[in-house]
Amino acid sequence: MRKPIIVANWKMYKTRVEAEQFCEEIRPLLAGQDKVDAAICAPALQLDILKAKLQNTGIGVGAQNMYPAAEGAFTGEISPRMLQDMGIDYVIIGHSERREIFKEDNELIKAKVKSAYEYGLCPILCVGERLEQREAGETVEVCAGQLLSALEDLTAEEVEQMIVAYEPIWAIGTGKVATAQDAEDTIKALRQAIADKYGAATAEKVRIQYGGSVKPENVKELMAQPNIDGALVGGASLKPESFAKLVRYQEA
Ligand code: PGA
């Protein structure tokens, strides 16, 4: 059985004081909750606060990006070694905002995924299609292409442990959520693509999230789909009450 995992992606939101306040408020709201894995991917400057304030809560802490080298002349970048040194659990890789705005390509994303494993970080690999690709019927081809390219240098054991997030670009921050059935169909196809390459047993273990305008009001229906194992949540993860509702979706 795959344990559900709900992850907050704070993107470029929250000062240190705001991050601290969120942690104070989320602690009691998620106390005792262990049916679902929860994690928060914060801006790098807030990670130390989350590590300190979320100690012993079971809530994981993640970064939103990294550069695939231990150290070096890469001005402005953060390395997996630095994240490991801070005790970070997860790192989002290949988010569509990185692919689209910062022009990250599949080669760089593949190197990032490999490098995350070298430093004991669990990658949350994002894949997703643009609206015109969906309209042209290319969704599965585009997303499976991004996925298989990113997995190329991994062992089957590494593939098993990773988290994949299917995030249709047209659904991110737009309020347009894919229907639960559409999300399920694509995620099922992605699991099949993993099975074809690494075997069914490996594919059955990979946790695949949906992301794109997930809210407390629609999370339950999405999570009811057999292949959807979690959610990667932007906007609705910024308020403690809302994030707690998302994590506690089974109780609603
Ligand atoms: P959203 O963002 O929930 O605000 O649509 C999701 C994401 O980009 O991970």
pLDDT digits (tens, 9 = 90+) for 8-33: 999 999 999 999 999 999 999 999 99
Tell me the pLDDT of the chain averaged across its residues: 97
* pLDDT recorded at residue 175: 83
Does ligand 1 come within 6 angstroms of the Cβ of 100?
Answer: no
Does ligand 1 come within 6 angstroms of the Cβ of 235?
Answer: yes
* pLDDT recorded at residue 227: 98
Which CATH number is associated with domain 5-251? Answer: 3.20.20.70
Average pLDDT, integer, range 134-161: 97
Task: Return the number of other C-beta atoms located less than 10 Å from residue 190's C-beta.
Answer: 23
- Ligand 1 atom nearest to 215, measured from its CA: 3
> Would you kindly state where each structural domain of the chain is located, as residue ranges?
5-251
C-alpha separations of 211 from 21, 128, 138, 172, 194 in Å:
25, 9, 18, 7, 19
Q: What is the pLDDT of residues 67-102, one digit of tens each?
A: 999 999 999 999 999 999 999 999 999 999 999 999
pTM of the full structure: 0.97
Residue 95 designated active-site: yes
Alpha-carbon 160 to chain mean position: 15
* pLDDT recorded at residue 173: 86
* pLDDT recorded at residue 140: 98
Angle at which helices 139-151 and 180-198 pack, to 10 degrees?
40
Does ligand 1 come within 6 angstroms of the Cβ of 150?
Answer: no
Q: How many helices (H) and strands (E) does the chain have?
A: 12, 8
Decide if 146 contacts 110 (C-beta within 8 A).
no
C-alpha separations of 181 from 140, 184, 248 in Å:
14, 5, 22
